[in-house]
Structure 1
Amino acid sequence: MNAKLTAIAASVALGLAGAAYAQNAQQASGQQSQKQQIDQQYKAAMEKCNGMKDNAKDICKAEADSQQQVAEAQMKVTERDTPKNRLDLEKAKAESQYKVANAKCNDQVGDAKKACQKVAKAEQDLAVAKAEAQSQTQSSGGSSSGGGTSGSSASGAGTTGAPAPSAAAPTGAASSGGAAAQPAPPPSAEPPKAPTQ
């Protein structure tokens, strides 16, 4: 009787192990096919760029590189949705937007080009600061059920309805309204004086 129970238990365990292995293999093949799809889209975009000239070609290549970078970061979030992977996705979006904007700035010359590049860098820095502040808010809140980062851009990402604590934007980082956060003046030691008449 013990031998029959042992045999049944072993066969059930083997069956479950086989199912788990098959599921892991299926996930790995799904990830592999997703990576292959990203690579194929990148190659197609780069082939399209080969027919272009001058800065249009540089812009096209920057767009192709950016799409690949964001798609790979999105794939990581899809594989394993963690605060770090979501932050990496938002940073990839910000960097990608910067690369394309900077390539477009090369169509300009002189001061206009410098100003364009400064604006592009400032937008990247703002998007990264917002992503980091949002990541800190989500990780300190204990719950990251916002779920709105899968298709939103870094510039459109906001909070999930709860007001963010004032410490969420360190070093004067911009708030979701776009203006720099101003620290409150320190309280004075004396009570305010009443006006004299």
Structure 2
Amino acid sequence: MNKLNMTAIAAAIGLVFSAGAMAQNMSKDAYKAADDLIAAEYTTDKAKCDPLSGNPKDICIAEAKGKEKVAKAELEARYEPTAKNHYKALVAKAEADYAVANQKCDDKSGNDKDVCVKEAKAVKTRIEADAEAQMKTSDANRAASEKSAEAGMKARVEGAEARQEATTEKVDANYAVAKEKCDSLASDAKTRCMDEAKAKYGK
């Protein structure tokens, strides 16, 4: 499974929620033209999968569908630059990457496949959790700017809670990966592995 560049992803999350990104806009004609282009590219990409078979074909199709889904979500975010649409664009990227990674896991077997799947899910969970925390924080801050100092305090609390929720989700995902890796062991080694995982992730 290809390792995602988490630094680049974090930068992208910060960018899409920035004031500059929110200021973007496009005309209805430009939107329609871009949408038509996305559809045409998907048809071309999918046609390239036709000569393939088995898992390579499944991976190819997943990549084509993922590319289309991400492009459409990003187009919506440019056309209507709201925090929610930018969040949807990030989630679309996470889901597309997960779909491809999950298909690539089919080339593995046994515990290696199980770990591969869990790792793919963990990456998806981390991206979605961070994106949701950013959206909630952005919404809370915007609401605070329109209201009183009391609203500002509420915004800070809501932002902190959103970040805590994201941290919990990421810990749970990483713990699931650790447990899956322990399953390849036996007897005392497996017990020690599980104890270490529980201690590391506070379970």
TM-score (norm 1): 0.61
1:92 — aligned with what? 92
Q: What letter is aligned with 1:89?
A: A
Percent sequence identity over aligned pairs: 33
1:166 — aligned with what? 160
Total equivalences in the alignment:
132
Tell whether the 8 Å contact from 2:125 to 2:169 is kept in structure 1 after alignment.
no
Tell whether the 8 Å contact from 2:136 to 2:159 is kept in structure 1 after alignment.
no
1:36 — aligned with what? 36
Counterpart CA distance in 1 for 2:107 and 2:97 is 16
TM-score (norm 2): 0.60
1:56 — aligned with what? 56
- The structure-2 alpha-carbon separation of the partners of 1:167 and 1:32, relative to structure 1 and needing over 3 Å to count, comes to same
2:116 — aligned with what? 116
Say which one has the larger Rg: 1
Superposed displacement of residue 165, structure 1: 5.2
- The structure-2 alpha-carbon separation of the partners of 1:165 and 1:31, relative to structure 1 and needing over 3 Å to count, comes to closer
Pairing 1:173-184 to 2, within 5 Å after superposition: 173-174=169-170
Unaligned ranges ≥5, structure 1: 1-25, 144-163, 180-197
Per-residue CA deviation, residues 24-62 of structure 1 (Å, 9 max, x unaligned), is xx9333222111100111011101111112111111110
Higher helix share: 2
Per-residue CA deviation, residues 127-149 of structure 1 (Å, 9 max, x unaligned), is 11010011111111229xxxxxx
Task: Establish whether residue 71 from structure 1 lines up as the match of residue 71 from structure 2.
Answer: yes
Which deviates the most, 70-79 or 51-60?
A: 51-60
2:132 — aligned with what? 132
Q: What letter is aligned with 1:119?
A: E
Counterpart CA distance in 2 for 1:174 and 1:106 is 24
Q: What letter is aligned with 2:95?
A: E
| Aligned-pair Cα RMSD in Å | 2.3
Counterpart CA distance in 1 for 2:170 and 2:139 is 19
Q: Give the secondary structure class of the aligned counterpart of 1:52.
A: coil
